[in-house]
Chains A and B, each alone.
Chain A
Amino acid sequence: MKKYILRRLLQLIPVLLGIAVISFLLLHMIPGDPATVLLGQEATPEEIERLQENLGLNDPLPVQLFNYLGSIVTFDLGTSIFRGEEVSTIILTALPATIELAVCSLLISLIIAVPLGIIAAVRQNTFLDYFSMFFAQLGISMPVFWLGVLLIMGFSVHLGWFPSFGRGEPLTEGFIHLFTTGSFSVLFASLKHLFLPALSLGVMGSAMITRMIRSTMIEVLDMDYIRTMRAGGTIEFLIVMKYAFRNALLPVITIVGLQFGNLLGGAIVTETIFGWPGLGSLVISSISQRDFPIVQGVVLTIALLFALVNLIVDLLYARINPKIRHN
């Protein structure tokens, strides 16, 4: 098992290098560069030329690429052109916000999708089934920005239950505050900020997971061993929850893993709508500034996270289905 994990981690190196090269080339090939953005509309062409020279943007592309690869193999993601801060520091500040949002929206997805999917499968072709499939269809087809705006209008503007934007203190701060002072206030405020963005992402994600659970459950419930158990008089609830659901989980985990990987990449639209200071808003503002080091750093981070999530999913397979062994 350890050998397997190590091999997978080693495989990551060429993948990440490839991604670094591609993201570097793509960014440098699109028109517009940081010097023109930094100096603004009123700068003279000479001033722009001078700054490009200072920033090393006039060096031949292969030289710039070589320098960049040289620095990332020493784990140096460089310095932001606009902020003058280390890219790694900037990413580490934004990452917890994104992880918080990703974990919570995934939880919401599962809270909605698992019961809905199971009920739809067990009560196939009944009103409950149609209802959950209608919900799933709605969730998949609703644009996430629209749902976000609706949630803000409903829950913030009209009901005033949740803040309309922004992030509270990090959840970890909230827990520390809770354990040191016994007061829920900080954690509570953070969770309130988290709720609407997590819900808008969660609803979208739940739609896909519901469909997946329903179809695999229907398949499993049709299998011989389930019929045998029913014939043997096992309680239906036990059959569904213990014996069928566990076996239906495998494909579900794949899709949950993929979804989580996507969420870690920063839910760009949701983060922008809710003013959530995570990787998504960071990468959007950095692209529009052409802050190359940040964009490249974020892309690498996302790729790494995605790969790690995939590895975890593969390891979970083995745990859920003992027939699978990674050797």
Chain B
Amino acid sequence: MKKIFAGILVLFVAVVLAACSGGDDSATESSNGNGGSNVSGDVIRVGLDVDPGTMDPRLANDSSASRVTEIVFDGLVELDENLVPQPALAESWENPDELTYIFHLREDVTFHDGEPFTADDVKFTFDSILDESFNAPYRSLYEPIESVNVVDEYTVEIKTSEPYAPLLSYLNIGIVPEHLADNADFANNPVGTGPYKMTDWKRGSEIHFEANAEYFNGEPATEKIVYYIIPDNTTRVSALEAGDIDLLHSPVSPQDIGRIESDDRFVVHQTTGLGHTYLNFNFEDPTIGEEAVRVAISHAVNKESIANDIYAGMDQPGKSPLIPSSWAYTDAIEGYEYNPELAQSVLEDAGWVDEDGDGIRERDGNKLSVVLKTHTEDPNRMQAVEFLQYELQSIGIDTSVETQEWPSFQESMQTGDYQVALLGWLNLVDPDRAMFNQFHSEGGSNYGSYSNPEVDELLEKGRTTIDQNERAEIYAQAAKIVTEEVAYNVVLYQGYVVMHVKELEGFTVHPGGYFKSLRDAKINN
């Protein structure tokens, strides 16, 4: 027993001593040390916040799953930085009529296992997404597709039941091989056409990729990519500083950005993302259902302060559900300005007056009280609701805060068990995605039961109008109405942050956080 103990003690001392002596060249030390596995040489090491839930693009529902499927698979199209669809597996496409898209596919593409990519794979992919029993999370985006038909080996026709303008923006979803995708294990062993092949997945810790030499756009610039799962935001940034990873992206703590920016070993990109953070109002609630209360709350939201003080300028003050990175963005919608005095007079006009002098307004003997809800995963959102609690309290609304972890919070939203909630939307590649499900009276994500026939009509029209300029006008109208009626109060336009080592070249920052451009990225030593 004593001998074993002494042996282990010696081993530990040896490690500490050896580690100390290796302190001079920390960069090479830690890169060799990382994982102890084969990651030296031509490699880009990326830090991600969560382990992907799946590697099947049809089922992907978290950001890490997207980051994996983006480099392992290709879609028919890919979205450039302005969210305009560009050719990918489809070389070109045409619209013979408003209900039909014909895609001409590349003929030189093979899957990682050497099998050729054909129109059958495209049909298989979309048929399975539309299959109810497959439970694809984004099925509703593709629901207007009536049929996917194979015209010949390299031509596919997609028919929709009604004109469906956003469709092209959603066709960047990865195409899976028909001959493999039915395997039960496909989600763990993905085979795609993309620039990188997934070679090893150590659950919860690291994912290894190797360049696909046969990639149709030419061999990727870097031989290997490794994704490391580092759940803690602070540790992930520390890992970059310690030289253990080369690149990381949102989510990051806003407080870390300045430090990395001022360090000349790193480059920080900040851009507007594809999401917004908003207050959702529950119209079914008797207090919140009253427009004056919603307007007063909106006047009490100091967006500038939330953006600059809580989010350290990473996010920008928001105005409407149309985000700045979208072609539909308009600055004509101003939203409600921060003006607590005005908020107070709005409440007074509506009969909410503090009669007993306790600082809380009443009407017909009922106190004006509101519960603000948010989820615990984002500390900045929790801070923001606490700040809002103070703001609302000071205009005479008795305000309490409730935070829940995400699954419980999501259930509260879906069952309408809330008054006002702070949450966000991501991946708003098309204004339809930002508005239809959220504000249409039949919309699947219309948690607050907002309903306005005029908005319904506009949203339906926006979906079925193909011309982009015309659509932009329609969405501007709809966004103006929902903002004025305070269905949402968009507090922030979410920023998107990428940090990487200075030596990394060729990586293009995409507002959607897409990692497609890793295929052109290389670390120059």
Contacts and interface: CB of A to CB of B under 8 A. Distances in A.
B15 A195 contact: yes
B267 interface: no
B239 interface: yes
B461 interface: no
A62 to B, nearest CB: 22
B184 A193 contact: no
Contacts of A41: 410, 425, 445
A308 interface: no
Nearest to A111: B9
B502 interface: no
Nearest to B405: A288
A33 B33 contact: no
B411 interface: yes
A275 interface: yes
A83 B23 CA distance: 40
Interface in B1-56: 8-9, 11-12, 15-16, 18-20, 22-23, 26-27, 29-30, 32-37, 50-51, 53-54
Interface string A14-52: 000000000000000011110011111111110110110
B228 A166 contact: yes
Nearest to A287: B405
B29 to A, nearest CB: 6
B179 interface: no
A22 B445 CA distance: 34
A93 B51 CA distance: 15
Contacts of A174: 36
Given A32-B407, A38-B135, A156-B238, A186 B425 contact: no
Given A38-B61, A94-B204, A165 B36 contact: no
B474 interface: no
A33 B238 contact: no
Interface residues of A, number: 66
Contacts of A96: none
Which of B18, B141, B203, B235 counts the most chain A CB atoms within 10 A? B235
A121 B242 CA distance: 41
A90 B201 CA distance: 13
Contact of B235 (A33, A39, A107, A274): A274
Interface in B50-67: 50-51, 53-54, 61
Given A43-B444, A275-B228, A93 B408 contact: no
B218 interface: no
A308 B495 CA distance: 50
A90 B36 contact: no
A191 B10 CA distance: 13
B254 to A, nearest CB: 17
B241 A157 contact: yes
Q: Is the interface of A mostly helix, strand, loop or mixed?
A: helix
A277 B238 contact: no
Interface string A175-201: 000000000011011111101000000
B242 A157 contact: yes
Nearest to B243: A160
A42 B445 contact: yes
Interface in B151-206: 184-185, 187-188, 202-206
B26 A277 contact: no
A82 interface: yes
A68 interface: no
Contacts of B241: 157
A186 B414 CA distance: 49
B492 to A, nearest CB: 17
A284 to B, nearest CB: 8
A173 B331 CA distance: 60
B147 interface: no
A273 B407 contact: no
Given A111-B9, A161-B22, A168-B33, A51 B244 contact: no
Nearest to B186: A84
A192 B15 contact: yes
A108 B11 CA distance: 12
A290 interface: yes
Contacts of B229: 275, 277
Interface string B216-232: 00000000000011111
Given A164-B235, A275-B232, A39 B204 contact: no
A289 interface: yes
Contact of A149 (B33, B235, B414): B235
B140 interface: yes
A78 interface: no
B15 A188 contact: yes
Given A40-B137, A282-B204, A288-B406, A160 B36 contact: no
B205 A275 contact: yes
A214 to B, nearest CB: 21
Nearest to A269: B232
Contacts of A165: 228, 230, 235-236, 239, 244
Contacts of A289: 53, 407
B32 A189 contact: yes
Nearest to B9: A111
Contacts of A185: 36
Nearest to B21: A161
A160 B242 contact: yes
Contact of B26 (A47, A107, A160, A285): A160
B133 interface: yes
B517 interface: no
B19 A164 contact: no
Contacts of A50: 132, 135
Contact of B244 (A30, A47, A156, A190): A156
Contacts of A43: 137, 139-140, 444
A167 interface: yes
Contact of B36 (A38, A85, A190, A282): A190
Contacts of A30: 408
23 contacts: A30-B408, A33-B407, A40-B138, A43-B139, A43-B444, A44-B444, A51-B135, A82-B53, A90-B203, A107-B9, A157-B238, A160-B242, A161-B20, A162-B33, A163-B34, A164-B244, A191-B11, A192-B33, A275-B229, A275-B232, A275-B235, A281-B204, A288-B405
The 3 A-B pairs at the shortest CB distance, nearest first, are namely: A160-B26, A32-B407, A189-B36
Interface of B: 8-9, 11-12, 15-16, 18-20, 22-23, 26-27, 29-30, 32-37, 50-51, 53-54, 61, 132-133, 135, 137-141, 184-185, 187-188, 202-206, 228-232, 234-236, 238-239, 241-244, 377, 404-412, 414, 425, 433, 437, 444-445
Given A42-B433, A93-B203, A169-B35, 18 more contacts: A30-B408, A38-B61, A40-B137, A42-B444, A45-B414, A45-B444, A84-B188, A157-B242, A160-B242, A160-B243, A161-B20, A164-B244, A167-B35, A168-B33, A275-B228, A275-B230, A288-B405, A288-B407
